Amino acid sequence: MATTRESNAHRHRSGAVLPMILTTVLVLLLAAAVVFLGSQEPLARALAAGRAKELPAGVTITAVHTPGDPDDVANMETNPVGAAGDLEARTGEYPVKPDSLLPVAEEWVAGRIAAFSGGADGAGAGADDAAHLELGWSPILRAGPYLGVDLTSTVTPEPGETTHQSVYADVTSGGAWSAPGDLFTGTAAERVAALVRTAANQPEFGDRPHPSAAEARVLARVAMAAAQLRPEGLVLPLDGDRALLLEAEPAADYLTEAGNSILAAAVAGTGFAGIPAPPPPPGRPAGPDRLTFPVRVDCSSASCVALTFDDGPGPHTGRLLDILAEHDAPATFFLLGEQTRKRPELVRRMAEEGHVVGNHTWGHPDLATLEPREIDRQIATAADEIATAGAPRPVLLRPPYGSLSDSARDRIAAAGDATVLWDVDTLDWKTRDTKKTVAAALTDARRGSIILMHDIHEPTVDAVADIITGLREEGYTLVGVPDLFGGTMNKGGIYRDGR
């Protein structure tokens, strides 16, 4: 009997111990899980946010904002990108004011051109003769001392998508900040990626596939590079026409001190300080730093426009001269030395018929990529060849592609030349379409415009008669480039229009 009681007691103690052991094990496992998850807090938080059904307070999905018009930015100056080699495969322009914006914009443009060209192996989109790279910009913020611009890059026909890069500059202190590196904190990328995954759960996101964690990180990087600091808050464009909008308070945790300062000015709606106006041009008296030309038309009273032609003389230049003579219309030609050697009689005829003859270098290289000695050679050999052909030695120079560097500017000035760019690009080399060339010239021309065309293309020459007629019907007077500036230009000066 005693043995039976002892046996029952033993079984009772054993039955009580087992739940205690299981409970202890469970507690230890839970504790380990807490420690592990605590050590993985950023990842756990990001994953949790990605699975969340609702966006955090102050974060919504909105439409992508349309950037502003570049012409609305007073005193802005731009550099044209021009074409790339014989393919003439890149065009557009980028902002160069305020001065702090210039190196940032130039670095970005160089990177996009390098990606297009494909580097040393030439494997980029530019390897396709039909490919074209278009670079551009638009203002996205003007508030207080801050100017924000959206730099854009589009490759056509494939892939046809536009890459965006936001840059902000202080027009008073000279600072400049690029997104995302200068504007976002180090932890922002993972948090934005989590917001992207959460946004994909919302009906406003549409029928787009839900991004994986890796895809969300890519979308986050693209959105942050295109970040817009606006009166509404921080706008992060997503693919398509949707964007994340973070109001100022939640946005503050994502932004650096510089980013928050810019956002504060945007939200406050502070009036834009503006890009400082350039100093007034120096007086007109001739001197050692002046170039003087005969004045044929007083453009201070007439609405003058200058037609300019690059890359010749070519096989169609003779017919172009016939058209200009028939319409009694002057033009300015920027000639290549190597082409001048092939057709010197056309150069002589240009001069005899009263056209302005300028220099376009010997072989059409990108001067911004050359050493100073080679820049000098390109300028001098072309000028010598043009003078040998029977035209006055040129003192106006148009750099190929409109591409300039500090070194190129210095060497052009040292040669005693003035640089002539343009403000109306007909894109005739790209379209090779007579009607489109006529439309571009007539639509974009304004008083003082310098219109860019290429007489090496037959459709361009076909367009010239209608351009002359159309411009005159609109009240414009056709002149050579020097007339736009009263017959006096500065050595080393850079001229884009006569306004």
CA distances to 307, 336, 434, 450 from 424, in Å: 10, 21, 16, 6
Average pLDDT of the residues in 290-297: 91
Q: Which residues are catalytic?
A: 310, 454
Residue pointed to by tokens 């002892």: 6
| pLDDT band at 32; cut points 50, 70, 90 | very low
Give the Cα separation of 336 and 398 in Å (integer).
10
With 70 as the cut, is the pLDDT of residue 282 above it? Answer: no
- Residue 242: what pLDDT? 86
Q: Using CA atoms of 12, 16, 19, 22 in order, give the dihedral in degrees to the nearest 10.
A: -100
Q: Is 375 buried (19+), middle (13-18) or exposed (0-12) by CB count in 10 A?
A: buried
| pLDDT band at 130; cut points 50, 70, 90 | low
- Residue 476: what pLDDT? 95
In 3D, which of 79, 81, 80, 87 has the Cα closest to residue 429? 87
Q: Is 107 buried (19+), middle (13-18) or exposed (0-12) by CB count in 10 A?
A: exposed
Half-sphere exposure of residue 75, counting CA atoms within 13 Å on the CB side?
14
With 60 as the cut, is the pLDDT of residue 30 above it? Answer: no
Average pLDDT of the residues in 55-71: 87
| pLDDT band at 492; cut points 50, 70, 90 | very high
- CB distance 135 to 92 below 8 Å: yes
| pLDDT band at 281; cut points 50, 70, 90 | very low
Mean of pLDDT over the chain: 84
- Residue 90: what pLDDT? 62
Q: Is 358 buried (19+), middle (13-18) or exposed (0-12) by CB count in 10 A?
A: buried
pLDDT one-digit tens code per residue, 415-463? 999 999 999 999 999 999 999 999 999 999 999 999 999 999 999 999 9
Instruction: Encode burial over 260-276: b for 16+ CB neighbours within 10 A, e otherwise.
Output: bbbbbbbbeeeebbebe
Return the amino acid letter for 130.
A
415 vs 51, higher pLDDT: 415
Element (H, E) at 3: helix 2-39
177 vs 45, higher pLDDT: 177
- CB distance 180 to 224 below 8 Å: yes
With 70 as the cut, is the pLDDT of residue 393 above it? Answer: yes
- Residue 25: what pLDDT? 46
Q: What is the DSSP letter of 184?
A: B
pLDDT one-digit tens code per residue, 155-171? 887 666 789 999 999 99
Return the amino acid letter for 444.
D
Give the Cα separation of 371 and 290 in Å (integer).
26
Give the Cα separation of 448 and 498 in Å (integer).
4
Average pLDDT of the residues in 56-75: 87
With 80 as the cut, is the pLDDT of residue 123 above it? Answer: no
| pLDDT band at 63; cut points 50, 70, 90 | confident
The answer to whether the pTM exceeds 0.75 is no
Tokens of 290: 């002046």
- Residue 309: what pLDDT? 96
Least confident of 27-31, 55-59, 264-268, 483-487: 27-31
Cα 425–Cα 324–Cα 319 angle in degrees, nearest 5: 90
In total, the chain counts a number of residues equal to: 499
CA distances to 96, 110, 177, 404 from 103, in Å: 8, 10, 11, 13
CB-based contacts of 82: which residues, under 8 Å, 6+ apart? Answer: 90, 91, 400, 401, 402, 403
| pLDDT band at 89; cut points 50, 70, 90 | low
- CB distance 400 to 364 below 8 Å: yes
Half-sphere exposure of residue 310, counting CA atoms within 13 Å on the CB side?
27
- Residue 392: what pLDDT? 94
CB-based contacts of 158: which residues, under 8 Å, 6+ apart? Answer: 125, 128, 131
pLDDT one-digit tens code per residue, 317-352? 999 999 999 999 999 999 999 999 999 999 999 999
Residue pointed to by tokens 């300039």: 404
301: left (phi over 0), alpha (psi -120 to 50) or beta: alpha
Tokens of 77: 């100056």
Cα 45–Cα 251–Cα 195 angle in degrees, nearest 5: 40
For helices 2-39 and 41-51, what crossing angle results, to 10°?
Answer: 80
- Residue 38: what pLDDT? 44
| pLDDT band at 132; cut points 50, 70, 90 | confident
Give the Cα separation of 209 and 42 in Å (integer).
25
3-state SS, one letter per residue, for 202-241? CHHHCCCCCCCHHHHHHHHHHHHHCCEEECCEEEEECCCC
Give the Cα separation of 360 and 398 in Å (integer).
5
